Amino acid sequence: MTELATLRYSGKNYELPVVVGTQNEAAVDISKLRSQSGLITLDNGYGNTGSCSSSITYVDGEKGVLKYRGYLIEVLATKSTFVETAYLLIFGDLPTTSQLAEFRKLLMQHEFIHEDMRHHFDGFPPNAPPMAILSAMMNAVGCFEPVFMQADDDEYFMEPAARLMSKIRTIAAASYRKSLGKPLIYPRSKLRYVENFLHMLFSKPYEPYEADEAVVQALDKLLILHADHEQNCSTSTVRMVASSQANLYASVAAGVCALWGPLHGGANVAVIDMLSELVESGQKLDKFVERVKNRDEGVRLMGFGHRVYKNFDPRAKIIKESCHRLLDKLGIEDPLLDIAMQLEEVALKDPYFIERKLYPNVDYYSGIIMRALGIPTDMFTVIFAIGRLPGWIAHWREVHTNDSGRIDRPRQIYVGHTAREYLPIEDRG
Ligand code: CMC
């Protein structure tokens, strides 16, 4: 039987059903609240708002648990591949051998972008941020592809999903090459997903890039760790755009824009900027931490804190280990890693961070891994976007197959002027 929560307001009781998820998370269903009581809820930043029911990803922020479709992230990061994990997110189950082979074949078939699309890159100024190019191109790619999608048919949907996952990699590499004024490199079908991306980033027209297996594995794992994170800012954006029945390309392009900000995916760049400045300036770490605590303008400990994780971010744990392993394997000594570890130690002992439950998040060490892989800083958030794409696709699909099919349209509490008299311009002083 459904449990009820009671809200008492203005002398009246309102009974609100409590919805319980498969992991026993409970929510008060307020969908009838306004029609019954005239009230809405107010929740700045949506910290207490469940915007949907979803069966894709589960996060327990208190215990530091992350699961995709019921599989622990630690298991997927060790045993799976990015392509397999993407399939899992989008289609709900791990693929069989033949399903995976089919998905890989489609990824290979769709790796080229339309020849006319190559000219779009010429319209951007030199040094255009790759995230700007990526968002524009994700929308543009929809003009060259069929936009009708039968979201509720697994077999049919495999092609558009693979098409977009394949194209984002080609577009991302091309936007990087464009930002350096270098010629675009065509994909090579026989390479695996990540290898092919590295090839398009780093090969020269006269000399193919041979990727070290440690590099391929590290990047593959990084993509798995970024593949979904339930209702984060960019995914909520994708879902909101999708709720207007917008097509997959438009919805994902909006997600790229949301991801760009330094409080979200752009944090991996901000972390490297912060660590580089600390190394270059030689500033004492406790002094820096004091500036963070004093809230000196624009100073935050980037890569720390999370809306949901209040104990630790399981992705950060895996990334930190992976970072050490990779740097050891490649024989790289990065002063940013040393300073990152020292800063983490200082912060984790400090009451400011302890009281607010601020721990390293996924972005704290990921930039150091990407530097070791030879990926330039302004591509970090693009890599995050490639990783997050399967999640966005899965959420777009969930919205499009949801029976309720309602457009997302929050309410507000208006706090502006009530009534003003219009003055002609000559009377305004
Ligand atoms: N440095 C210093 N103080 C912080 C930080 C930080 N990184 N993060 C949160 N706080 C403080 C904040 O000032 C507030 O203090 P008080 O209660 O005294 O006002 C308290 O901790 C709670 O923070 P909040 O701003 O209410 O937390 P939020 O849930 O709104 O924001 C966050 C979460 C991730 C945006 C924030 O922690 C932050 O800005 N972190 C740095 C940027 C970052 O690393 N972002 C990547 C997030 S993980 C991956 C992703 O989403 O892309």
Which of 222, 232, 356 maximizes ligand 1 atoms within 8 Å of its Cβ, making it the mutation to test the pocket?
A: 356
Half-sphere exposure of 196 toward its Cβ, with a 13 Å CA cutoff? 24
Atom of ligand 1 nearest to the CA of 259: 52
Task: Write the pLDDT tens digit of every residue in 45-83.
Answer: 999 999 999 999 999 999 999 999 999 999 999 999 999
- Cα of 333 vs centre of ligand 1, distance in Å, is 29
Predicted pLDDT at 178:
84
- Cα of 67 vs centre of ligand 1, distance in Å, is 23
- Cα of 62 vs centre of ligand 1, distance in Å, is 16
Measured in whole angstroms, the distance separating CA 130 from the mean position of its chain's CA atoms is 16
Which of 300, 302, 313, 354 maximizes ligand 1 atoms within 8 Å of its Cβ, making it the mutation to test the pocket?
A: 300
Q: Residue 323 — very low, low, confident or very high, per pLDDT cuts 50/70/90?
A: very high
Task: Write the pLDDT tens digit of every residue in 142-197.
Answer: 999 877 778 888 888 999 999 999 999 999 999 888 878 888 899 998 999 999 99
pTM: 0.95
Task: Write the pLDDT tens digit of every residue in 204-254.
Answer: 988 889 999 999 999 999 999 999 999 999 999 999 999 999 999 999 999
C-beta of residue 267 within 8 angstroms of C-beta of residue 302? yes
Nearest to 170 by CA among 136, 146, 199: 199
Predicted pLDDT at 87:
98
Instruction: Take atom 9 of ligand 1 and give the residue whose Cα is closest.
Output: 305
How far is the C-alpha of 85 from the C-alpha of 80, rounded, in Å? 7
- The radius of gyration computed from the CA coordinates of the chain, to the nearest angstrom, equals 23
Q: Which residues contact 328 (CB under 8 A, 6 or more apart)?
A: none
E strands present in 54-132: 57-60, 65-68, 71-72
Q: Rounded mean pLDDT of the chain? A: 94
Predicted pLDDT at 288:
95
Atom of ligand 1 nearest to the CA of 364: 44
Q: Hunting for tokens 């090969």 — which residue is that?
A: 203
Atom of ligand 1 nearest to the CA of 303: 44
Phi/psi of residue 327, each to 5°? -65, -40
At residue 8, the 3 state secondary structure works out as strand
Residues designated catalytic: 306, 363
